[in-house]
Chains A and B, each alone.
Chain A
Amino acid sequence: MTPHYWQLILYKTRADLKMEAARGYMGMLWWVLEPVLYMGAFYIIFAVALQRGGENFVPWLLTGLVAWKWFDTSVRMSLTAIMSGKGLMSQVYLPKVFFPAVVILKNSVKFLVTLVLLMAFMLIYGLPLSWSWLAVLPLLGLQLLLISGVGLTFAALTPLWPDLKLLMNNVLMLMFFLSGVFFDVSQLHGWLAWLLSLNPMVHVIQAWRDVLLHGQWPDMLKLSYVLILSLAMLALGQYLLKRWDRLYPRLA
């Protein structure tokens, strides 16, 4: 892809973020307020009302939730990204990666705000600042790669097989419950543990917890699996988008 299209993706991402902010009177405040309300709801339910979980249960839960939400929202929006761009793509030629890329970048910017808030919350909560927080940047990169791989692949497939949208809604819900957001995957054994370990988000969430909560470096072997899977899906997604580049504008 030429630098022009990269510039265009960045400009459109910025424009979409600005547009969202301009929609309400509170503007960019919502980028902060929304994750605060989201995390606040879980904090109130689990820590205040139910008094559930052991020590650090709330930061543990929130870490899983926000990492999952970044993945989930980006993939869901990628599913419909190309078909929402139908009007545009029938007027001008655009490489179709443009549409999911904008959606993914937009969600990533929002996630960054959430992550900063989460880290601030952890410090206020009394968790120690650790050297392992340095791993946040590579971990961000890895999850972005995973999201892009899954997002581009399904963005490419869904316009041709619209049933995938419904299927993915259910798959994502199942993955949510099986990604260890609510329970500790390392407690499981046997075939169930093996099955769950196929889900890359299990390892990504585990890594975020290791880095942010436990002050330790993530499991490199498991993350290598995530990396390879992400790169393979990214290549597949780009291949499919290129292959059907001039077919999408014909779809009804």
Chain B
Amino acid sequence: MNPVLTLENVGVAYRRGRSPWRGEPYWALRDVSLTLRQGETLGVIGRNGVGKTTLLRVIAGIIEPDKGQIRNSGVSASMLSLQVGFVPLLTGRENAILSGMLLGAPKNRLEAHMEELVAFAELEEFIDEPVASYSAGMRARLGFSVAMQADPDVLLIDEVLGVGDVAFRKKSSDEIHRRIRSNRSVILVSHNIGMMRDLCDRVVWIEKGVSKMQGKAGQVLDAYEAATRRSS
């Protein structure tokens, strides 16, 4: 299968102090290489604070690495983010369009899919009310449904979590699972080893900012589990 995205020896340094140029560098990512192939789900595993969020930001094109290379075959990549740019005083419908556009979805597509979006969020009666009047659960439902309208070539997911009340949590997490299993290219960051075994084709293991191992999900996860057990 064709690689859609390749990272080669990527490193990202944050600087201590205020200046982005001077100050002692702190390497959040030191040396990460990985390849994402067309249609596969690639898992990223590692302890907290090994730079997984920074890695997703680099892949999404939000920040630029200080060293190494990213090769992109012309695909768009963006993070699954909920409630991006929500403005409480605007109505649910307006927020859906604004937030959806921020996530990269074209306005006319959002308008065309609005009914479906509202139905998924179960907000038919409230969609023209200001979001300020929504409960946290309603807001979460709207945020999730909007995020599902964003349609990047490569979907970047930081933990698969259902949102909202119990029923919607199941529905939303099922929907994400469905998307991950579909033919889309996905990069999935998670701590849940069982779920990664289930969802990922391949996994890359990152330790202290360095990609330590990359390969078939089962092999990498076994090695990771063995290493974690040894150290704890």
A249 touching B20 in the complex, CB below 8 Å, given contacts A7-B101, A19-B89: no
A239 at the interface (CB under 8 A from B): no
Which of A90, A92, A162 has the most B CB atoms < 10 Å from its CB?
Answer: A92
**Cβ-defined contact, B97 with A11, below 8 A:** yes
Chain B residues within 8 Å of A18, by CB? 89-90, 94
Q: Kindly provide the distance from the CB of A7 to the nearest chain B CB, expressed in whole angstroms.
A: 5
B64 at the interface (CB under 8 A from A): yes
A110 at the interface (CB under 8 A from B): no
Q: Of A11, A91, A250, which contacts B84 at CB under 8 A? A: A91
A235 at the interface (CB under 8 A from B): no
Nearest A residue to B15, CB-CB: A250
A220 at the interface (CB under 8 A from B): no
**Cβ-defined contact, B20 with A247, below 8 A:** yes
Complex CA gap A94/B84 in Å reads 12
Q: Of B63, B79, B90, B103, which contacts A19 at CB under 8 A? A: B90
Q: Of B79, B87, B106, B130, which contacts A92 at CB under 8 A? A: B79
Complex CA gap A19/B85 in Å reads 13
Q: Kindly provide the distance from the CB of B107 to the nearest chain A CB, expressed in whole angstroms.
A: 5
Q: Of A23, A92, A162, which contacts B102 at CB under 8 A? A: A92
A7 touching B107 in the complex, CB below 8 Å, given contacts A18-B90, A246-B63: yes
Q: Kindly provide the distance from the CB of A9 to the nearest chain B CB, expressed in whole angstroms.
A: 10
Chain B residues within 8 Å of A162, by CB? 18
Complex CA gap A173/B212 in Å reads 57
**Cβ-defined contact, A247 with B64, below 8 A:** yes
Interface string of B80-105 (1 = CB under 8 A from A): 01001101011000100110011110
Q: Kindly provide the distance from the CB of A190 to the nearest chain B CB, expressed in whole angstroms.
A: 43
Main secondary structure of the interface of A (DSSP, over half): helix
Chain B interface category by residue count: 20 to 34
Chain A residues within 8 Å of B62, by CB? 89-93, 246, 249
Q: Of B57, B87, B97, B130, which contacts A249 at CB under 8 A? A: B57
B3 at the interface (CB under 8 A from A): no
**Cβ-defined contact, B90 with A8, below 8 A:** no
Chain B residues within 8 Å of A4, by CB? 101, 104, 106-107
Q: Of B14, B18, B101, which contacts A8 at CB under 8 A? A: B101
**Cβ-defined contact, B78 with A92, below 8 A:** yes
Chain B residues within 8 Å of A94, by CB? 102
B61 at the interface (CB under 8 A from A): yes
Q: Kindly provide the distance from the CB of A250 to the nearest chain B CB, expressed in whole angstroms.
A: 6
**Cβ-defined contact, A8 with B102, below 8 A:** yes
Interface string of A1-28 (1 = CB under 8 A from B): 0001001100110010011001100000
**Cβ-defined contact, A160 with B20, below 8 A:** yes
Q: Kindly provide the distance from the CB of B35 to the nearest chain A CB, expressed in whole angstroms.
A: 22
Q: Kindly provide the distance from the CB of B188 to the nearest chain A CB, expressed in whole angstroms.
A: 17
B213 at the interface (CB under 8 A from A): no
Nearest B residue to A8, CB-CB: B101
**Cβ-defined contact, A22 with B130, below 8 A:** yes
Chain B residues within 8 Å of A23, by CB? 89
**Cβ-defined contact, A92 with B20, below 8 A:** no
Chain B residues within 8 Å of A7, by CB? 101, 106-107
Complex CA gap A41/B130 in Å reads 35
B60 at the interface (CB under 8 A from A): yes
Complex CA gap A91/B83 in Å reads 10
**Cβ-defined contact, B94 with A15, below 8 A:** yes
Closest 3 CB pairs of A and B: A246-B64, A22-B89, A91-B81
Known interface pairs A18-B94, A246-B64, A249-B63; 10 further A-B residue pairs with C-beta atoms within 8 A, sorted by A's residue number: A7-B106, A11-B97, A15-B87, A88-B84, A91-B62, A92-B103, A93-B61, A162-B18, A246-B62, A250-B20
Report which B residues bind A (CB closer than 8 A): 14, 18, 20, 57, 60-64, 78-79, 81, 84-85, 87, 89-90, 94, 97-98, 101-104, 106-107, 130
